[in-house]
Amino acid sequence: MEFWLWFYVAAMAAGVVLFGFWRANPKGIPPIEYAIAVAIPLWSGFWYLVMALGGGRADVGDQTTFWARYADWVITTPLLLVALSLTAMQALPNKRWGLVRALVAADILMITMGFLADVMENRAARYSLYAVGVVALLVVFGLIWGPLRATAARQPAPMSRTFTQVALLLSVLWVGYPLIWILGPSGLELFGNTTDTALFVILPILSKVGWSAVDLGLLRRLSDRRLLTVA
C-alpha cells in the first residue's frame, strides 16, 4: 500500500514541476489558472505524503479511515471547479461568481458528507450520509451541465468546445469516486485497503494532474492557433 502512496507523491511533484514550467511561458492564460494548477498537486501531495509516512488515518470500528483524503479533497476539488469555471468564462468580461460559489458550496457539502459517512460505525447512518453526498454530487453535475455550460456557450466556439471537453472529462472521472467508496472497505467491502488505495491513487492522479494538464494544454493550443480570447 505504501508503494502506491509514494507513487502518488511523485506524480503530484511532477505535476507541480510541469505547471510551474508552463507558468514561465503562460501564452496569454491568466496567472491565476497556473497558480490553481500548481496549488492542487502541491496540497494533495502533502496529504498523501502524510499518509505515506503512516499518518492521516484512524481506526473506526473494524476498518481504517483515511481522513487525510478528505483534508485533500475539501481543498482540491473546489479548486478544480474554479479552474473549470474559469475555462467556462475565460472570454467573458462579466464572471458569474455566484454560480462558482454555488458549485463550491455543493462540492464541500459532498466531501463533508463523505467524511462523516466514513467515520460512522452505524451502517444505516453511513449509507444515509453517503446518499446525501451523492445528491450533492448530482447538484454539482447539474450546475456544470446547466448554467455553467450555458455560460460557456456565450464564448467563441473554440472556447465553448474546450469547456465541453474538459467538463465531460472531469464529470466522468468524478463518477469514479462514489463508486470506489461504495464498493470498497467503506461500503460493500468488495475489495480491501490495498486495492482501495491503488484506485484512490490512480483516479486522483487523472483527476488532478491529468485533468489540469488537459485543461491548460487545450487553452495553450488555442493560444498557439490564435484562438484564445481572454477577457
pLDDT in tens, 109-162: 999 999 999 999 899 999 999 999 999 999 999 999 999 999 999 999 999 999
Residues 22-52: tens digit of each pLDDT: 999 999 999 999 999 999 999 999 999 999 9
- Cα dihedral value 16, 20, 26, 31, nearest 10: 80
pTM, rounded to two decimals:
0.96
Asked if pLDDT for residue 228 goes beyond 90, the answer is: no
Domain boundaries of the chain, sorted by first residue: 2-224
Average pLDDT over residues 174-196: 94
Query: How confident is the model at residue 23, as a pLDDT?
Result: 96
Asked if pLDDT for residue 169 goes beyond 90, the answer is: yes
- pLDDT grade, residue 60 (50/70/90)? confident
- pLDDT grade, residue 102 (50/70/90)? very high
Asked if pLDDT for residue 231 goes beyond 70, the answer is: no
CATH architecture of 2-224: Up-down Bundle (1.20)
Query: How confident is the model at residue 175, as a pLDDT?
Result: 98
Query: How confident is the model at residue 59, as a pLDDT?
Result: 87
Residues 194-220: tens digit of each pLDDT: 999 999 999 999 999 999 999 999 999
What residues have CB less than 8 Å from 127, skipping those under 6 apart? 117, 187
- Cell numbers that stand for 192 in this block: 480491501
Distance CA 84, CA 229 (A): 16
Nearest Cα residue to 170 out of 136, 200, 141? 141
